[in-house]
Chain A
Amino acid sequence: MSNFSKAFSSTLGKKLIMGLTGLFLSLFLVVHLIGNLQLFKDDGGKAFNEYSFFMTHFTPIKIVSYLLYASIILHAVYALILTTANKKARPVGYAVTKGEANSTWSSRNMGILGTILLIFIVVHMSNFWAQYHWGKLPYARYEMNLNDATDVQVTELPFDGKHLVHSQYVDTQKGTEVVVAKDLYKIVSESFKQWWYVVLYVVSMIAMGFHLYHGFQSGFQTLGFDHSKYKPLIDFLGLWVFSIIIPAIFAAMPLYFFFLK
């Protein structure tokens, strides 16, 4: 075995994979959140649908997206491998344990929280990601007046196999710009009108908050990074940005559609 593969088969190496994929997924959340803020735009979903097309068809982003899928799978698989090994390290458990005396609740329940998140990701991706790629999505036609950006006519079109995924042209005679796009916005807004879907999303985002409360700072430690100068910054970001602000804004999306749309 080479030094490299020996490193990755050690407990430290396996945890390194967990840490690297976990931090990459955290970074992805930031990008995902910023993009999805367009759901709050009151434009019939034009910005969001254009963004969806860009994210699925721009090559550099496609490459990163494959890295993302690999990270999700690796993170889950290694979690399973490590948890199994850790259970084997203590086959006879304690009759009485006081975990709350020495560690945070999140740190002791990463597996449960992660499982909730995995279920969420499967539901989330099969409903939106898979639908966008292979589903029979309806289309939306946006006709904008070139002289007045606020004048946008939205027409909903049914699914048509002959349609292009996305088209955009300028009608100089009418003085309008026309965009025909897959209407993912409609799928999103319809999904978020179902109460159980909203509950699933909100619960999952709470789970994500707790998962990242331990996970974000733990990821850095797993890489060996705990410089006393920067550790407070990492802890601060882990608490406020990754376990409160990001999950809260994500949870606000289904709530916004359910209550305000």
Chain B
Amino acid sequence: MNLTLKVWRQKNANDKGGFVTYKADSISQDMSFLEMLDVVNEGLTKKGEDPIHFDHDCREGICGMCSLYINGRPHGPKRAITTCQLHMRSFKDGETITIEPWRATAFPVIKDLAVDRSAFDRIQQAGGYVSVNTGGIPDANEIPIPKTIADEAFNSATCIQCGACVAACKNASASLFVSAKISQLALLPQGQPERYRRVQAMVAQMDAEGFGSCTNTGACEIECPKEISLTNINRMRRDYFNAKFFKEEEID
């Protein structure tokens, strides 16, 4: 396959940046999108040019490190996969592919296509945990949890923090990520003691990071590589309003 790539190049966070066009020739259909970029980078290095900077790690679709806004969609045209799992057979020979970084105030560009997603880490640190004292291993069936609840919590917990929800959202809202992290704990007994403190702290941090507000377009749910559902966002709202308006004591 011969492709034309329009790639966003930006030296650092302060650089204005712009698109640079590259030719990607004799690309195999079986390559992943990242392998295709590796080939392009190999060529650039040989020519003595600066290779394209992009994030990647496991290349198995589970680490959440790869990103890329490909032809107007996060993680490319396929559903429920990350960019590393996207194969070149999903594109046509001779196609022009536009590759951009995630765009959000809270995700400043580090270089080229790599963005700083530490805003997500700070939201997690604000309350996305369960405080327990270490001790003996509890019995596996000590705390009964209905299967449906366990499954729902597990679905929420599959979020890999890649940031595609923010990238897909027209408002650059992080609601899907934040609500998944809140839900995975709010659904389970272990998450109850800190439930209402957690939701308030994490929402406050989300707002402080400068993410937009959720207008329920549902774009995040469609683009999420782990298919985290919109119902998490509604659960977050219920818990948040519950904490703010209906709790007798202020839990902050």
Contacts from A to B (Cβ < 8 Å): 3-4, 6-7, 10-16, 82, 85-86, 88-99, 101-104, 107-108, 110, 214, 217-218, 221-226, 228
What total count of A-B pairs have CB within 8 Å?
Answer: 137
Q: Is the CB of B234 within 8 A of A89?
A: no
B174 to chain A: closest CB distance in Å?
9
Residue of B nearest to A11 (CB): B213
Some 17 contacts from A to B, beta carbons below 8 A apart, are A3-B252, A4-B244, A6-B244, A7-B240, A10-B207, A11-B213, A12-B241, A89-B106, A94-B100, A96-B98, A101-B77, A102-B73, A102-B218, A104-B218, A108-B170, A224-B234, A224-B241
Q: What per-residue 1/0 map shows which CB atoms of B63-83 lie under 8 Å from chain A?
A: 000000101110001000000
Task: Kindly report which residue of chain A lies nearest to residue B224, judged by CB atoms.
Answer: A102
Give every chain A residue within 8 A of B204 (Cβ-Cβ).
10
Q: How far is the CB of A213 from chain B (nearest CB, A)?
A: 12
Against A, the Cβ 8 Å flags (1 = close, 0 = not) of B165-191 are 000101111000000000000000000
Min CB distance, B159 to chain A, in Å? 17
B222 touching A7 by the CB < 8 A rule? no
Q: Check A108/B241 contact, CB under 8 A, given A86-B172, A89-B105, A95-B100.
A: no
**A82 CB contacts on chain B under 8 angstroms:** 213, 215
| Alpha-carbon distance A197/B16, docked complex (angstroms) | 48
Interface of A is mostly: helix
A186 and B234 alpha carbons, distance in the complex (Å): 48
Q: What CA separation (Å) do A4 and B105 show in the bound complex?
A: 28
**Shortest 7 CB-CB distances between A and B: which pairs?**
A224-B237, A98-B72, A89-B212, A7-B244, A224-B238, A86-B171, A102-B222
Q: Is the CB of A89 within 8 A of B241?
A: no
Minimal beta-carbon separation of B170 from chain A (angstroms): 6
Please name all residues of chain A whose beta carbon is closer than 8 Å to the beta carbon of B19 when the two chains form the complex. Answer: 95
Nearest chain B CB to A233 CB, angstrom units = 16
- Would you call B234 and A90 a contact (CB within 8 A)? no
Contact of A11 among B212, B231, B234 (CB under 8 A): B212
0/1 per residue, B222-252, Cβ < 8 Å to A? Answer: 1100000011011111101100110000101
Residue B210 lies at the interface, judged by CB distance under 8 Å to chain A:
yes
Which of B73, B206, B235, B236 is close to A98, meaning CB atoms less than 8 Å apart?
A: B73
Roughly how many angstroms separate A15 CA and B211 CA in the complex, as a whole number?
A: 14
Complexed CA–CA distance, A6 and B211 (Å): 17
| Least Cβ–Cβ distance between B97 and chain A, in angstroms | 10
Q: Is the CB of A90 within 8 A of B105?
A: yes
Can you name 7 extra interface pairs (CB under 8 A) apart from A90-B103, A225-B234? A11-B214, A12-B237, A89-B106, A89-B173, A101-B77, A221-B234, A224-B236
Rounded to whole Å, the gap between the CB of B48 and the closest CB of chain A is: 28
Smallest Cβ-Cβ distance to B240: which chain A residue: A12
State the Cβ distance, A94 to closest chain B Cβ, in Å. 6
**CB proximity of B148 to chain A, nearest CB, Å:** 11
Task: Give A15 to B106 CA distance when docked, in angstroms.
Answer: 20
> A99 and B216 in contact (CB under 8 A), knowing A89-B105, A221-B233, A225-B234?
no
CA distance A85 to B140 in the complex (A): 47
Q: A214 CA to B170 CA in the complex, in Å?
A: 15
For residue B100, give the distance in angstroms from its CB to the closest CB of chain A.
6
A12 proximity list for chain B (CB < 8 A): 203, 213, 236-237, 240-241
Say yes or no: A11-B207 contact (C-beta < 8 A), given A218-B216, A221-B230, A224-B234. yes
Which of A86, A90, A99: most chain B CB closer than 10 A? A90
**When the two chains form their complex, are residues A91 and B71 in contact, meaning their CB atoms are under 8 A apart?**
no
A102 and B98 contact, CB distance less than 8 A = no
In whole Å, how far is A5's beta carbon from the nearest beta carbon of chain B? 10
